[in-house]
Amino acid sequence: MPSSPSTNPRTARNILTGLRSIMASRGNAQAKLNQVVDRIAEAVNSEVCSIYLRRDGLLELFATHGLNPEAVHVTKLAMGEGLTGFIAKNVETLNLDEAASHPDFQYRPETGEEKFHSFAGVPIIRNQRAIGVLCAQHVDPRRYSEEEIEAFQTAAMVLSELIGSADLVDDSLIENNNLQDAGADRLSGLQLVKGKASGYAVFHQPRVKIEHTVADDTEAERHRVYSAFDKMRDQIDQMTSQAEFGVAGEHIEVLETYKMFAYDEGWSRRINEAIDSGLTAEAAIERVQQHTRMRMRQIDDPLLAERMHDLEDLANRLLRIVSGQMSTAAQMGLRKDTILIARNLGPAELLEYDRRRLKGLVLEEGSLTAHVTIIARAMGIPILGRVKNIKQFVREDDHLLLNVDENILFVRPSSAMEEAFQAQLELSQKKRETYSALRDQDAVSKDGTRVIVNINAGLRDDMAMLNLTGADGIGLFRTEFQFLVAATLPGRTGQLRFYKDVLEAAGDKPVIFRTVDIGGDKPLPYFQPSDIQEDNPAMGWRALRIGLERDALMKVQARSLIEAAAGKTLNVMFPMVAEPWEFDEARAVFEQQLAFLRSRKKQLPLKLRYGAMLEVPALAECLDVLAPRLDFLSIGTNDLTQFLFAADRSNPKLAERFDWLSPAILRFLKRISDTAARLDIDLSVCGEMGGRPLDALALIGLGIRNLSITPASVGPIKAMIRSVDVSEAAALLDNVLAEAPANPRDIISNWAKAHNVDVG
């Protein structure tokens, strides 16, 4: 963070004291405003000081010291017009020694301002929008000092509070303007979960509204800020030490920057100085933030802009601590259709939201196979990821139209945009209806090959999808989701009841239960078993590695599953098996529990089938060793590809780097598919790759005949299978594998078009 020279808080304090006495004085609002501009002009020794406020969508000159008084209530500027309009539109501070040098400069002859050279202006902000502008002008081409700019910012904050409390002007004038449309914006990002939604912006960590700007007791405010800094530093330290589990979805790099800022002495010193000038702790944090924002913009360095983003997050965190407004939007409850905005989210955080009201998610980070994305996909919540600087464009409660199918987010849409969006929604609805017509149709290719289409599940509500989609069964039941939504480690009775319900809901259809896969990007807040620091948690102590070492956890789960499946077939699958002995040990835990229950004369499952996930590449080399003891094998392409490419699946920087349709992955999968066929292993694919029509087409071409996918993909995947000739797809893939072209996705996509294969 660039440090600003230490400032003397006297000027700001002078202004604050002045404003206070003006407010306490008698007189009408106009007279008070006139006194305010006189006082500020005097305090900063400026020839001009003016206040513009928004009325009917325009910035109107409400009071001036130094400009032609006749111009008051006559001079009006549109948002974005001239320097004043620029400040209001961009909610940005300007400090220019030569106003005419700015590209947006315009002058209004009725004000008599042509003789003034220097210009400084700050936005008067309420609810993150500019409701006016406070500006100063001077004949000499001099730049206003840091101290003076800070004094303006302080004055603007107090003015905003006074306007808010209707002490200064008739609040109703401003209020209407405040809600005025700030103009539509269109942002783009990375498609994480397809879909469309209309709703209102809610920030996962809501911005704090500053109610009071002027402090009654400066010492008390200083203490509040001190203890907030202590708390914040503790929080950041704790988050950094838990970062190997990706707690709260924060990325390690972000945490490091947080830490740097959290301990930055310059930052805390400037906040203290702002408090010295008479501001409350909240107002001081905000004012310093405004000032830093201005300085960062002047530097115009993209790297610093990124850092600014981190500092904004941190300043908001500090504000939340100091004001005691710590809840997330989930804890405060959603009141209407919501499009949630967050930097990133952990899976458990997403699950805290009310599914009926949460219509979409926009992330500044995010990646395709992070678990939060997988859960949102299962919940049918569209996600647009990697949307840059969203906080600059979107304010709380803005109307948003999210169209992830086309990677667009419309902010404050015009009515024409809304109409077009509605038309698109209807089209998608029609498409969905076509897909649901396939519900009772089997996935059989044009040349008669039957492909099993299962769904992935993990939550109780997912069970309804089995019937809705007409899927063949559940190919991956992520049992850890139940652990993620619980406040404490689920016990045996709870698990037993839950698994029973799942099997009952599935009826005759098979369910493959995967034993808990915790760790990596699925940390359990109440179970942080690692006593070592893990730099690479995805490759660390997770899944079966935890299960085998903490075998009490696994025993409880084994016993619950066996009891739940009494009289039925139980399919269990172990995650992250790297070597055959791990599978054998896991299996032994189940066999032990089986023997125990048998000795107790409990009713047992009719059959117990054991499977392994192939997601660690090493296992592919030992399939022959494992095959005699294996009932089935499921390829987890999410983890498998992250290990093949050495590319963290939840690292947003790598989100777009590698493609599932790369020759390396396709060749690897082909080898497994051929080996499984040779060894007569029942093989499926249960990663996200299988739910994307073009990628699934490639899998079919590689010989895969069993897919387990997210429920929303069942229709599109069945449509693809029913329109493809499997032998032709196999020939295509043979070619792709042999030639290893640079762009297999384009080749497969063009082929699909030419062969009328429905890939969505």
Contacting residues toward ligand PEP, per CB under 6 A: 374, 476, 478, 517, 615, 636-639, 686-687
- Residues with Cβ within 8 Å of 498's Cβ and at least 6 positions away in sequence, in order, are 460, 482, 490, 564
- Residues with Cβ within 8 Å of 184's Cβ and at least 6 positions away in sequence, in order, are 410, 411, 412, 413, 414, 417
CB of 673 to ligand PEP, least distance (A): 16
CB of 689 to ligand PEP, least distance (A): 8
Which of 636, 652, 701, 744 binds Mg ion (CB under 5 A)? It is 636
* CB of 438 or CB of 476, closer to ligand PEP: 476
According to DSSP, the residues that pair with 129 across neighbouring strands are 126
Residue 118 binds: one of Mg ion, ligand PEP, none (C-beta under 5 to 8 A by kind): none
* CB of 465 or CB of 686, closer to ligand PEP: 686
3-class SS string, 2-34: CCCCCCCCHHHHHHHHHHHHHHHCCCCHHHHHH
- Nearest position to ligand PEP, beta carbon: 636
* CB of 370 or CB of 570, closer to ligand PEP: 370
CB of 673 to Mg ion, least distance (A): 19
Which of 221, 615, 648, 695 binds Mg ion (CB under 5 A)? It is 615
CB of 206 to ligand PEP, least distance (A): 31
Q: Sort 523 into a burial class: Cβ within 10 Å, 0-12 / 13-18 / 19+.
A: buried
Span near Mg ion by CB under 5 A; candidates 379-387, 555-563, 598-606, 609-617: 609-617
Span near Mg ion by CB under 5 A; candidates 300-308, 611-619, 668-676, 737-745: 611-619
Residue 349 binds: one of Mg ion, ligand PEP, none (C-beta under 5 to 8 A by kind): none
Residue 687 binds: one of Mg ion, ligand PEP, none (C-beta under 5 to 8 A by kind): ligand PEP
* CB of 163 or CB of 518, closer to Mg ion: 518
* CB of 310 or CB of 639, closer to ligand PEP: 639
CB of 219 to ligand PEP, least distance (A): 53
* CB of 596 or CB of 658, closer to ligand PEP: 658
* CB of 165 or CB of 536, closer to Mg ion: 536
CB of 263 to ligand PEP, least distance (A): 35
Q: What are phi and psi of 731, to 5 degrees?
A: -65, -40
The total of other beta-carbon atoms located within 10 Å of residue 6's CB is: 12
Burial per residue of 582-595, b for 16 or more beta-carbon CB atoms within 10 angstroms, e otherwise: bbebbbebbeebbe
Alpha carbons within 13 angstroms on the beta-carbon side of residue 282 total: 19
Residue 462 binds: one of Mg ion, ligand PEP, none (C-beta under 5 to 8 A by kind): none
- Please report the beta strands in 615-732, taking only residues with DSSP state E, as ranges in sequence order: 632-635, 683-685, 706-709
* CB of 46 or CB of 369, closer to Mg ion: 369
CB of 352 to Mg ion, least distance (A): 23
Count helices and strands in the chain by DSSP H and E runs: 29, 22
The total of other beta-carbon atoms located within 10 Å of residue 545's CB is: 16
- Nearest position to Mg ion, beta carbon: 639
CB of 55 to ligand PEP, least distance (A): 54
Residue 478 binds: one of Mg ion, ligand PEP, none (C-beta under 5 to 8 A by kind): ligand PEP
> Which ranges of 507-579 would DSSP assign to H, the alpha helix?
544-549, 551-564
CB of 649 to ligand PEP, least distance (A): 8
286 binds Mg ion (CB under 5 A): no
* CB of 48 or CB of 518, closer to Mg ion: 518
Q: Tell me the two tokens of residue 496.
A: 């037993």
CB of 626 to Mg ion, least distance (A): 18
Q: Tell me the two tokens of residue 744.
A: 């297999």
> Which ranges of 366-437 would DSSP assign to H, the alpha helix?
371-379, 390-393, 415-436
* CB of 455 or CB of 686, closer to ligand PEP: 686
Which of 148, 639, 648, 688 binds Mg ion (CB under 5 A)? It is 639
Q: Sort 606 into a burial class: Cβ within 10 Å, 0-12 / 13-18 / 19+.
A: exposed
Q: Tell me the two tokens of residue 350.
A: 């997403």
CB of 638 to Mg ion, least distance (A): 5
Q: Sort 28 into a burial class: Cβ within 10 Å, 0-12 / 13-18 / 19+.
A: exposed
Cα of 686 vs its chain's centroid, Å: 25
DSSP assignment string, 263-322: T-HHHHHHHHHHHHTTB-HHHHHHHHHHHHHHHHHHH--HHHHHHHHHHHHHHHHHHHHH
- Residues with Cβ within 8 Å of 555's Cβ and at least 6 positions away in sequence, in order, are 589, 592, 593
* CB of 282 or CB of 462, closer to Mg ion: 462
Residue 686 binds: one of ligand PEP, Mg ion, none (C-beta under 5 to 8 A by kind): ligand PEP
CB of 77 to Mg ion, least distance (A): 57
- Residues with Cβ within 8 Å of 738's Cβ and at least 6 positions away in sequence, in order, are none
* CB of 289 or CB of 710, closer to ligand PEP: 710
* Interface residues toward Mg ion, by CB under 5 A: 615, 636, 639
